[in-house]
Amino acid sequence: MPTVTPATVRDSLDDKVDCLKRAPVCCGSFFSQLGKGVMRNKYGILAFLVSMFIMYLLPSLPIAGDLIYCTFDDSLFNVVYVLLFFFIFLQAYALLTTVVYYLISIGNHITPWNVRWHTWEGASEKQCGKCTNFFARNAKFILAIVGISIFSFYLSLALFSPTPCSLQVGEEYPFTPVAAQKVEKDILEFVTENHEKLPQRPALRGQHAKTIACVSGTFTVDPSIPPSHAVGIFAAGAPKSYPAWIRFSHSAPDFTPDGFIGPKGMAIKLLNVPGTSLLEDEPHTQDFVLLSSPIFFAPDPTSYGSFIRAFVTNQVPAWFLKHINSASAWKTVFSLAKIVIRSAKLRNLLDWDWFSTTPYSFGTNNPVKYMVKPCDSSGSQFDSADTKAYNFLRDAMQDQLDKLDGCFNFYVQFQEQACREPLEDPTIEWHTEPRLVGKLVIPKQQFKTKERMQYCDEMAFNPWHSLPEHKPLGGVNHQRLEIYKKTAQMRSRWNNFTLTAPVANPKLKTPPTPLTDADYNRTKISSGNTVDFQFRPYAGFELGSYPYPDGLPGHIASLVKDSSFTTEKTLRVFRSALNGVNNQLQEMFTADFDLIKRPNDYTYLFHDPTMRSRIPWVANDNIWEKDSVFASQWIRGPNPMTIKRAIEGKFPPEFARNLTPKDIKFLNDEVLPEGHNVMDLLKQGRILYADYKVLDNVPIPPELVKENIVRYPTLIVFYVKRDGRASELMPLAIQLEQWKDADCPISKGKKVNKTWDGPWACDPALLPKETIYFPPRRLVRQAHDRDDYIEWRKWLFARFHAASSDAQVHEMVTHLGLTHLLLEPIIISTYRQFDKNHTLFKLLLPHMRQTIAINELGRRTLLNKGGFFDSITALGKDGTLGLIAESYKSYNYMDAVFPRNMQARGFSNHTLENPGGEDDPVPGFLYRDYGYMIWDCLEKYVRTVVEAQYTDETLAQDADVQRWAEEIANPNEANVRGFPTSFKDTDSLIAAITHFIFTASAQHSCVNFGQFDFYGFIPNKPLRMTRPMPSAEDLEKEGLSWEYIMEALPNAEVTLKTLTITNILSMKPAHVLEIVHSPELFFGTLMKNALSLVDSTWRPRYEDPWQVLMRDLKVRSEEMKARNALNGYHYDYLYYDEIAMSISI
């Protein structure tokens, strides 16, 4: 027996991993065998059927609700979903490949697998054989994994909510207005279409069209009802009984046999109700809308609307395939299955339990569901045995009411545990104890008359015909309000009757006309696709009215519910995450924050075991103190967008007017490394600067002035230090103050200073000098006791203020303004102006995912009054929007295209043979170097797609593209400054689209995901400061103590919030470029693979552009990783497997 050692285990694992990598290429024969095995193995089929049965059974168990909604903590929740996503990958990869190979092998198109056409980085026949043998030996294991993946994936969709439960009793999560309008629009459209397709009249209800029975009765309040239940119609001063009309119906949208599968309905309308109803059309009625099942078929309004339309138009399979990866779709399917199975047992409507399925108020903050049960079992003797008769339920009821009264007890079920009995998901049955509150008696009567049925058909049942004490709750009920009301109005208009509240004893025609089986027995007319229309996704998007300052880009008015991203649900997840991280940090803060006496003491916050894995790299070994690390953040940090080169041998004028010959001598003699000279550096283009004068144009909000917030319009000057082959960026000076144009004295139209390049009428010689802070002398920087030198403390304090200035511009302008808010109106216009099958829509769609929703989320949690920007920044909400508006005045979309922007700032590595080498004026500028790499790959990708679709002539003729450009550029609509008003040539379109994709992916990734790395250690980049830099006189008299410096840094509360929000925002993206599937720009990937298998000589017209992009990005990423490893750089934000596909956080 061979000896097992760690080395042999490792080698074995390496072999298996190697085989897995080559599986798509080498293991076709295995998949073919596996496919045949699945099809021929009766046990495999049996296992699948058993799995499906368990999937059906499990949701109905009471314990499932607890497991799903109550007991999942965050860690278990994350582990479960990691496993589920792994199974999803295996399912999609193995199962689909199995089917494809099996079908192809049946046709004898490839047997065995032809390795010659598909190669995998030099994989040899021998390697493939080894791989195939490995899979053959482990066939049962692989088959088990595939089975588990299928079961786990679909079970998770059916059961697991992607949010740990944080529900409160009585708490609703209202459906967004635009989403509600879309569902309402869809339902009203298909009701209209259905009416127009039916040649007969009268027009029918959109649902529950067939009236099985319409009976009168009396509702009596239970005399023993406790005082706590005496509300609304059950109140002490209310009547003890109410006349009632009860309509029993079939849920189908047309007349069907009573035995047709589907739930039945029971609608109760109480009359002469004191008080005022929520709806004005029937001020004194109270309606109860019930179903023959304890659960509703749809978990939310979107599923409700989309499924109803699919059901009516005979497109349920297509609907399901479209939404197969939606948890709501699977819940709908499973709920319907349970409803149908239960309803199939129905034999007598008066001998059956009925349920509201949706919740209602019962007084104040007491949500209930209603339940109606037969008073006794006497009605069972009338259960129909002939379920094939067209109207057997109607006949059974009439048989009973000819001889016996019908009787139901009326119960309420109170919500006791919000997680187990949620308001917003009516597919979950409540199991709380029913409490008797009333009785409904249906006396003996003859209801099978045409007059009675017509009278009932002219009634309008709506759960919002209700006293305020019994107000409907939940998204489905809110959706019913307008839909029920408007469909009733449409029916009354089409059938020429007036909607009025019914009376207890209507005057109907006498003698009545008996109802025969021929009446109301119209069979359903098939509804084909009779209306051709151009589908524009989210056509209801409108540019909005959020209180932005004038001049900002447009934004969404209100959010349409996106199937891939639900804002309300995500808002709960986000708040839950915030609370979790906040509570975790709070525990360690109580013990550690008081220990902080010097800037380096902030490392105490990361001694807690919960934070050790998230220590910002700048905090390691106190390297944040190094001037080189400070300066590197402008070329390898979160905000590489403000730094510029001082070209043409000139300093920025605001700096030049304050720099004296004495300062230059001090820098040359005491600060700069040997062999460096300020003026030589300037001539060589090795002086750079970052200017934050824009901050001076945005006043500090009054509420922040009260908190002593200090903010400077800083100017930071850098130089490139060269020491042999080693080069790095270093700070040369920090100028905290800058003069304003309005402060400049007028020199009577003359230039006093001949060298001045500023306003012609300004005499800078008359302006007071602003103080410039220089790095400490070399002697001080190298001293072990440098903390004792005021020179070091003064420089460090100036750095804090400079970093804080950069933080304001980074967070508000670079990040929020020029990624999130800039792209939102472009996304809206893309949805509004392009058909879903338009090539450009497909090209842009993956990069629009979740952005509008995450922006809406930001407006609720960051930009809201009292939100994060108000509490942790030096600008607040109003200052944030003001700064974005001020910066946006000079923004131009096409000038911001990456290569143009970099060149305008003095950076272009396209002319460098060796970026980072000796000929590079700014070595180590990784945003520039890696950004050019990513841009070139994306531009090649977009060019391939665009030029395959357009010439300059055909582009100019594409009305959709031209409307898209016009709306985006229009200042009264999207208002994206500098966006072309039209596209006349492909080059401009390619640049505009590449800029959008680059901004949504690479740009946002590098300015967002590094936030915790730099902001997580507070002294490195504080988001607010509360003490100013002392004047030169004060420094001379009083010095600068560490106590004063530490008081200026954020307090414990601001620090806690800063760590919390930057920690969450820096979490790695779930959807990166590497794993996102190719957009189907030319052919579906599966179709291309199938064609290539059948005929190995077949070639697509174009190689899949997405695959080419991924291959190019992978090569570039390897170059980045090698360079980072060689130089010890921390800059992985532009690796292709780290770049987010879109702005989704």
Reported confidence tier of residue 856, pLDDT bands at 50, 70, 90 = confident
Asked which of 396-400, 590-594, 613-617, 845-849 is least confident by mean pLDDT, the reply is 590-594
Beta bridge partners of 355: 291, 371
Which one is predicted more confidently, 866 or 94? 866
Q: What is the pLDDT of residues 639-660, one digit of tens each?
A: 999 999 998 788 988 888 888 8
User: Which range is least confidently modeled, 97-101, 112-116, 145-149, 1020-1024?
Assistant: 112-116
Which of 391-405, 572-586, 1017-1031 has the lowest average pLDDT?
A: 572-586
Mode of pairing for the β-strands spanning 354-355 and 715-723: unpaired
What span, in angstroms and rounded, lies between the C-alpha atoms of 770 and 751?
21
**How far apart are alpha carbons 310 and 318 in whole angstroms?**
8
Contact yes or no for 356/265 (Cβ under 8 A): no
**Other beta carbons within 10 Å of 138:** 15
Structure confidence at residue 1070 (pLDDT): 59
B/e letters for 1025-1039, b = 16+ CB within 10 Å, e = fewer, are bbbebbeeeeeeeee
Strand order in the sheet with 643-645: 643-645, 687-691, 715-723, 726-735, 772-773
Q: Can you tell me the mean pLDDT for 316-324?
A: 74
Cα 82 to Cα 810: distance, rounded to the nearest angstrom: 33
Nearest to 68 by CA among 150, 166, 153, 164: 164
Residues 1083, 1107: Cα–Cα separation, whole Å:
13
Q: What is the pLDDT of residue 377?
A: 80
872 vs 60 pLDDT, higher one: 872
Residue 336, pLDDT score? 81
Tens digits of residue pLDDT in 988-1006: 999 999 999 999 999 999 9
Confidence of residue 62 (pLDDT cuts 50, 70, 90): very low
Asked whether the beta carbons of 746 and 762 are under 8 A apart, the reply is: yes
- Looking at mean pLDDT, say which of 852-856, 979-983, 1063-1067, 1135-1139 comes out highest: 979-983
- The pLDDT confidence band at residue 506, using thresholds 50, 70 and 90, is confident
Share of the chain above pLDDT 70, in %: 68
Is the per-residue pLDDT at 536 higher than 50? no
Q: Are 897 and 991 in contact (CB under 8 A)?
A: yes
Among the residue ranges 199-208, 306-315, 999-1008, 1048-1057, the one predicted with the least confidence is 199-208
Residue 430: φ, ψ to 5°: -90, 140
- The residue assigned the tokens 């839909």 is 483
Model confidence at 529, pLDDT cuts 50, 70, 90, reads: very low
Least confident of 141-150, 602-611, 731-740, 1017-1026: 141-150
Distance, first Cα to last Cα, the chain: 54
Q: Where are the beta strands (DSSP E) in 82-160?
A: none
What confidence category does residue 391 fall into, taking pLDDT thresholds of 50, 70 and 90?
confident
**What per-residue string of b and e applies to 519-534 under the rule 16 or more CB within 10 Å gives b?**
ebebebeebeeeeeee
What is residue 401's predicted lDDT score, i.e. its pLDDT?
92
* Residues 919-974: tens digit of each pLDDT: 788 888 999 999 999 999 999 999 998 998 899 999 999 988 999 999 899 888 88
Q: Radius of gyration of the chain from Cα atoms?
A: 36
pLDDT at res. 165:
59
- The confidence band for 1081, taking pLDDT boundaries of 50, 70 and 90, is very low
Q: What is the pLDDT of residue 1000?
A: 93
Whether the per-residue pLDDT at 111 is higher than 50: the answer is: no
Predicted pLDDT of residue 762: 54
Q: pLDDT band for position 867 (50/70/90)?
A: confident
Task: Reply yes or no on whether the pLDDT at 1092 is more than 50.
Answer: no
574 pLDDT band (50/70/90 cuts)? low
pLDDT digits (tens, 9 = 90+) for 888-904: 999 999 999 999 999 99
Q: What is the pLDDT of residues 178-216, one digit of tens each?
A: 566 666 676 666 666 655 554 344 667 767 878 889 999
Structure-model confidence comparison of residues 25 and 613, the more confident one: 613
Residue-wise burial string across 895-930, b where 16 or more C-beta atoms lie within 10 A, e elsewhere: ebbbbeebeebbbebeebeebbeeebbbbbbbbbbb
On the question of pLDDT at 118 being above 80, the answer is no
- Residue closest to 967 by CA, chosen among 831, 858, 1070: 831
Residue range 1112-1130, pLDDT digits in tens: 999 999 999 999 998 889 8
* Residue 628, pLDDT score: 92
- The distance of Cα 457 from the centroid of its chain, to the nearest Å, equals 44
pLDDT for 780 beyond 50: yes
pLDDT-above-90 percentage for the chain: 28
Nearest residue to 717 (alpha-carbon basis) of 663, 662, 771, 644 = 644
- The pLDDT, as a whole number, for residue 1008 is 92
Give just the sign of the alpha carbon dihedral 971, 976, 979, 982: negative
| Between residues 337 and 1045, the one the model is more confident about | 1045
How many Cβ atoms from other residues are within 10 Å of residue 277's Cβ?
Answer: 21
Mean pLDDT of 98-114: 43
Q: Residue 853 pLDDT > 50, yes or no?
A: yes
Instruction: Report the alpha-carbon distance of residue 712 to residue 1028 in Å, rounded.
Output: 9
Which has more pLDDT, 1069 or 497? 497
- The amino acid that residue 495 corresponds to is N
- What pLDDT score does 779 carry? 79
Contact call for residues 1058 and 1085 (beta carbons, < 8 A)? no
pLDDT of residue 166: 63
Most trustworthy range by pLDDT among 81-85, 160-164, 424-428: 424-428
Least confident of 387-391, 745-749, 905-909: 745-749
The pLDDT score that the predictor gives to residue 130 is 45
**Cα–Cα distance measured from residue 35 to residue 855, given in angstroms and rounded to the nearest whole number:** 46
358: buried, middle or exposed (CB in 10 Å: 19+, 13-18, 0-12)? buried
Which residues make Cβ contacts (< 8 Å) with residue 572, sequence separation at least 6? 163, 166, 173
- pLDDT at residue 7, rounded to an integer: 42
pLDDT at 48 over 60: no
Residue bearing the bigger pLDDT, 442 or 74: 442
CA atoms within 13 Å, Cβ hemisphere of 681: 28
- Whole-number Å distance between alpha carbons of 640 and 930: 12
Nearest to 556 by CA among 196, 851, 908: 851
426-456 tens-digit pLDDT: 888 898 999 999 999 999 999 888 888 888 8
The mean pLDDT of the chain is 75
What phi, psi does 623 have (nearest 5°)? -70, -15
Q: For residues 859 and 313, give the distance between their C-alpha atoms in angstroms, rounded to a whole number.
A: 39
Residue 733 has a pLDDT of 94
* Res 608: pLDDT: 60
Q: What is the pLDDT of residue 803?
A: 96
Q: What is the pLDDT of residue 136?
A: 52
- Per residue in 283-295, pLDDT (tens digit) is 889 999 999 889 8
Cα gap 768→786, rounded to integer Å: 32
